[in-house]
Structure 1
Amino acid sequence: MNDKMSRQTVLVVDDASNNIAIFSNILSPKYRVKAAKNGSKALQIAFETIPDIILLDIMMPEMDGYEVCRKLKQDPRTRNIPIIFVTAMVNVEDEAHGFEIGAVDYITKPVSPPIVLARVKTHLQLYDQNRSLEEKVRRRTTELDNSRREIIRRLGRAAEYKDNETGMHVIRMSYYSHIIAKGIGMNEVETDLILNATPMHDIGKIGIPDIILLKAGKLDEHERKIIQKHCEFGAEIIGKHDNPLLQMAYSVALTHHEKWNGKGYPHGLKGEDIPLEGRIVAIADVFDALTSERTYKKAWPVEKAVALILEESGQHFDPALVTVFMDNLESILEVKDQHAEKE
């Protein structure tokens, strides 16, 4: 890499041209130097080029250095850039105010070249160390999030091995849930949580005896009550956590069989007392179950399954979500085709 291109950038902000020239002479042998003669120009340069450090005069017309500093610290693009105030103001109150609003150091005028170089070098090194640490933390956080998501997916598949369904069921209904969530305007973070939490919806079936879970015929009342316990078992398996993804998985496992009219299980919740994620997954889960073949039934035609979803609007399902489901049916059917069962 060209040495000039690899140099770190120092933005010098001062309304006096001679002061800018002094700093440029001191710093240009080691750094790329950009200059601004007022606060507005300084902000424009900082937002466009993101310098590595800023030397900022305090006493400037129109917008003083304190105001420039405040604006830089309020913007996520520039809030971490080290700012050194350069000023003839040397009283304790002024220094305290500068540190309070985010400056890292002061250099007093008239400046000493060795002091300028030493302070800039020190704060650039600290800034580099902080950025390196932040990047390591970001990478580690991403790795942990990815591991968490993969564990959830794997546990979701484990439940399918116990059941007479397939792993494709959890994939399809997760994408259906994601489409519905996007359709009601949930933000990207929330829709991502829905997508990654829903594979755990039936994890509680691990706790249901095989003789009931795999029964080919119709369940009797006692057997039905036992299989309904899979919601509570699932919530117990996942547990309560501070992590948003696991919180979502817990809620989905516990509430995806609740019904809008209050006749679902395990707690008979009604209407909007059912968490939104539970209401979303209820539609996605039923639609995929109806349109998938099982050992105990043939797959329903899409038209028949859609008709039942519409019929149960306001009974089993949240009517507003049924409308969103219908509005996005084309996308849902594309997912169904893309993730069809392998022959």
Structure 2
Amino acid sequence: MHKVLIIDDSDINLTLIKALVLKLGDCEPILFERPLEALEWCRDNVPDLVIVDYMMPDMDGLRFIAAFRALHGRTEIPVLMITANDQKDIRYEALLGGANDFLTKPIDRIEFSARSRNMLALRTGQKFLADRAAYLAEKVEERTREIRERERELIFRISRAAEFRDPETGAHIQRMAHYSEIIARGLDLDDASCRLLLKAAPMHDVGKIGIPDYILLKPGRLTPQEFEVMKRHAELGYELLKDSGSEILQAGAEIALSHHEKYDGSGYPKGLKGHAIPLFGRIVAVADVFDALTSERPYKKAWSLDDALRFLENGRGAHFDPLCVEALLAGWEEVLEVRQRFHDEEMPLI
């Protein structure tokens, strides 16, 4: 049903045009004698065709069209202006001001029908294209969501591939990723950065895929030579992920390379110090160590929360960025909720 807005200060003209509009079929005429009232109606309603007289009190047709076109989303709606036969200059001005076509007085019924149908056909085409654009946009968003979901699953599985070769569990990567997000929010990072970190943090140890089992699975302390081999996992992870076109995998590469750096410069692989260490690396360093300390492994018992917090506190400014430690402590209630949600025997997707 097309909404046809009719504005004319003459009751006779309104009655006549309404009757002509009804004869078009599938149309709902909406009548106004005062253009200001019609304009107010247009703020909350979208007509499919506007038929407006030129000579009216308070606001003539030219001013009405200009005000109507200024409303959001009203620039393409067809407008027919009614003028007298001798008002050619007015018609020219109206064309420049946004009118699409004209009706001359006295109104010819056949001309009215033809011009109105043309304008309504134009509007139908506009609505079809708008609906089509909205449909395509929805499909693009749907496909984008599917791609992102597949990327998310792939990232999780890549992360799990490293964990399968490590005594750590799948739940570990969930906990440390969520701890990382808690720290990021505590540092007032924007929402997009927090979401990116949550998705990228699980890849921090993906380079362990390239570490020999006799070192990775050794139950006892590593020799200095073995530890040098183990340290290579940071650079291996970076090399594996760095050339991806995915923002998440690029962030994962940065985290893999930097999460074993220490705030005082004594970490590896590059011995970066302070803020020279990427922020995501500084965040994940705290989250990863905290979860490793408080998780039981075949080669160690879990530390108590108090002992783990004491270790983080003692490592402020040496191993850890002090602000990252502070942010973890500030989100302590959320930390406990994450520990409760992700148990070692559970491996849900993030």
Q: Given that residues 262 and 268 in structure 1 are in contact (C-alpha distance below 8 angstroms), is that contact kept between their aligned partners in structure 2?
A: yes
Q: Given that residues 48 and 78 in structure 2 are in contact (C-alpha distance below 8 angstroms), is that contact kept between their aligned partners in structure 1?
A: no
Give 1:108 shift.
1.7
For 1:283, which of 286, 309, 327 is the aligned residue? 286
1:41 match: 40
Q: Point out the more displaced range, 249-258 or 307-316.
A: 249-258
Q: Given that residues 69 and 75 in structure 2 are in contact (C-alpha distance below 8 angstroms), is that contact kept between their aligned partners in structure 1?
A: no
Q: Given that residues 78 and 122 in structure 2 are in contact (C-alpha distance below 8 angstroms), is that contact kept between their aligned partners in structure 1?
A: no
1:341 match: 344
Q: Provide Cα deviations, 1:66-94, integer angstroms capped at 9, x if missing partner.
A: 532xxx2xxxxx6xx87325266776997
1:194 match: 197
1: CA distance, partners of 2:245 / 2:67: 44
1: CA distance, partners of 2:101 / 2:268: 71
Q: Choose 1 or 2 for highest CA Rg.
A: 2
Q: Point out the more displaced range, 142-151 or 170-179.
A: 170-179
2: CA distance, partners of 1:150 / 1:218: 34
Q: Does 1:270 align with 2:270?
A: no
What code does the residue aligned with 1:45 have? D
Q: Given that residues 158 and 203 in structure 1 are in contact (C-alpha distance below 8 angstroms), is that contact kept between their aligned partners in structure 2?
A: yes
Q: Provide Cα deviations, 1:23-46, integer angstroms capped at 9, x if missing partner.
A: 897489536777895597367416
Secondary structure (helix, strand or coil) at the match of 1:109 reads strand
For 2:169, which of 166, 171, 176 is the aligned residue? 166
Length-normalised TM-score, structure 2:
0.77
1:3 match: none
Secondary structure (helix, strand or coil) at the match of 1:83 reads coil
- Corresponding residue pairs, total: 313
2: CA distance, partners of 1:185 / 1:35: 54
Q: Given that residues 261 and 273 in structure 2 are in contact (C-alpha distance below 8 angstroms), is that contact kept between their aligned partners in structure 1?
A: yes
Q: Provide Cα deviations, 1:163-204, integer angstroms capped at 9, x if missing partner.
A: 111111101111111222222222332222111111111111
Secondary structure (helix, strand or coil) at the match of 1:164 reads coil
- Segments of 5+ residues of structure 1 without an aligned counterpart are 1-6, 73-77, 99-105
2:136 match: 133
For 1:122, which of 109, 122, 125 is the aligned residue? 125
Q: Does 1:315 align with 2:318?
A: yes
Secondary structure (helix, strand or coil) at the match of 2:173 reads helix
1:246 match: 249
Give 1:327 shift.
0.9
1:212 match: 215
Q: Provide Cα deviations, 1:283-321, integer angstroms capped at 9, x if missing partner.
A: 110000011112222111110000011111111211112
2: CA distance, partners of 1:32 / 1:192: 49
Length-normalised TM-score, structure 1:
0.78
- Segments of 5+ residues of structure 2 without an aligned counterpart are 53-60, 82-89, 104-111
2:300 match: 297
1: CA distance, partners of 2:304 / 2:31: 69
2: CA distance, partners of 1:17 / 1:245: 63
Q: Does 1:148 align with 2:144?
A: no
1:52–1:82 distance in 2 versus 1, CA, 3 Å: farther
1:254–1:40 distance in 2 versus 1, CA, 3 Å: farther
Give 1:328 shift.
0.9
1: CA distance, partners of 2:30 / 2:259: 58
Give 1:230 shift.
0.9
Secondary structure (helix, strand or coil) at the match of 1:163 reads coil
Q: Given that residues 201 and 252 in structure 1 are in contact (C-alpha distance below 8 angstroms), is that contact kept between their aligned partners in structure 2?
A: yes
Superposition pairs of residues 23-172 of structure 1, within 5 angstroms: 26=21, 29-30=25-26, 37=35, 41=40, 44-45=43-44, 51=46, 59-60=62-63, 64-68=67-71, 72=72, 83-84=76-77, 86=79, 107-110=100-103, 112-172=115-175
Q: Given that residues 82 and 123 in structure 1 are in contact (C-alpha distance below 8 angstroms), is that contact kept between their aligned partners in structure 2?
A: no
1:331 match: 334
Q: Given that residues 50 and 78 in structure 2 are in contact (C-alpha distance below 8 angstroms), is that contact kept between their aligned partners in structure 1?
A: yes
What code does the residue aligned with 1:306 have? L
Greater RCO structure (CA 8 Å; 6+ sep): 2
1:101 match: none
Give 1:251 shift.
1.8
Q: CA RMSD in A?
A: 3.5
What code does the residue aligned with 1:248 have? A
